[in-house]
Amino acid sequence: MLKYFLKRLIAIIPVLVVVSILACGFVHLLPGDPARMMAGQDADAETIEKLRRDLGLDRPLPAQYVTYMAKVFRGDLGMSLKSKLPVFDEIALRYPPTMILAVAGMAWSVVFGVFFGAIAAIYSGKWQDYTAMLVSVSGISIPQFWLGLLLIQFFSVYMGWLPVAGYTGKLSELILPSVTLGATVAAIMARFTLSAFLDVLDEEYISTARAKGVSEQLVMWKHAFRNALIPVVTMIGLQFGFLLGGSVVVEMVFAWPGMGRFMIDAVAVRDYPVLQALLLLYSFHFVFISLMVDMVYALINPEIRYE
């Protein structure tokens, strides 16, 4: 077991290195001179030169990478070109709102997704199945930003029940954004639970349980449902990365003060130190999430370990 974990841990190192090289070298992929791009159109030659020296863009690439990463490990992510504040502080401010949004979206999408998926499996071929799957395919097909706008239109503007946008820490402000963010994942979870459930129902121990006279309800909820949850658990981890990505769009719709909106603003004003830091942070999150998923999966499914 430990050997498998170590192997997986070592395997992510090259991925992390490549990702960090990409995030760090990102400014050199820009068409033209990065210092000129960052300084803006009407900057004079002196400003550009100063910026180039300050950011170390005049030094060889490997040296730039080493310096950048050494700084990253000390918590120094550079200065935002727009606000002139440390990027680290700017991100620290926006990290909690994004995580709260993603966790809330995940929580309700798991509950609803698993519930509807299980219903569809238990009533396979009946109207409950078709309804649940129609809702699910609609959830996958609906653009999040449109769903968000519709929810604002109905619940905030017409009914006046919930705030339109923004986040100051109130629970009522979290409802619409998290529902919007979780909708697609809920739909994916429902489909996935359905297929996991149907796979389990084909297993021999289900027939055995039925043959020995266990009630259908007990077969479904105790024997089948619990085993169907195993693949669903790993799916939760994978979908969390998807939620973090999706939060970019949702944060823009609801003026949510998180990392996603920060990223779009940074793209708009070409604030490259901010973009570099966010890309690094996001990708490290995703790599670690997939590592966690693999490990949880190995814990609950012994076959994987001995491959």
Partner 1 sequence: MTAIKMTPFGIFYHKFRQRRTAMVAGVFILILVLVAVFAPVIAPYDPFLTDYSLSMMPPSTDHLAGTDLYGRDILSRIIYGARISLAVGITSVLFGALAGVTLGLISGFFGGFLDGLIMRTSDVLFAFPGILLAIAIVAILGPGLVNVVVAVSVFSMPTFARIVRGSTLALKESLYVRSARSIGASKKRIMFVHIMPGTLSSVIIYFTLRIGTSIITAASLSFLGLGAQPPTPEWGAMLAESRDYIGVADHMTLFPGIAIFLTVLFFNLFGDGLRAALDPKLK
Q: Enumerate binding residues for partner 1 (CB under 8 A).
A: 14-15, 18-19, 22, 26, 29-31, 137-138, 140-146, 149-150, 152-153, 157-158, 241-242, 244-246, 248-249, 252-253, 263-264, 266-268, 275, 279, 282-283, 286-287, 290
Closest approach of partner 1 to the CB of residue 188, in Å: 11
- In the complex with partner 1, the residue whose CB is nearer, 17 or 218, is 17
**Shortest distance in whole angstroms from residue 60 CB to partner 1:** 21
β-strand partners of 86: 79
For residue 158, give Cα distances in angstroms to 166, 183, 293. 18, 22, 42
CA dihedral 54, 56, 57, 61 (to 10 degrees): -170
**Minimum Å distance from CB 221 to partner 1?**
25
Alpha-carbon distance of 304 to 80, in angstroms, equals: 44
Nearer to partner 1, 146 or 205 (CB): 146
Structure tokens at 192: 């996935």
For the CB of residue 46, give the shortest distance to partner 1 in the complex, in Å. Answer: 26
State CA 160 to chain mean position distance. Answer: 30
CB of 82 to partner 1, least distance (A): 14
Nearer to partner 1, 1 or 103 (CB): 103
Residue closer to partner 1 by CB (options 232, 266) is 266
Instruction: State the distance between the two ends of the chain, measured CA to CA, in whole angstroms.
Output: 11
- Comparing CB distances to partner 1, the nearer of 154 and 221 is 154
Task: Write the DSSP string, 206-217.
Answer: HHHHHHTT--HH
Q: Report the distance separating Cα 95 and Cα 114, nearest Å.
A: 28
* Cβ count near 158 (within 10 Å): 9
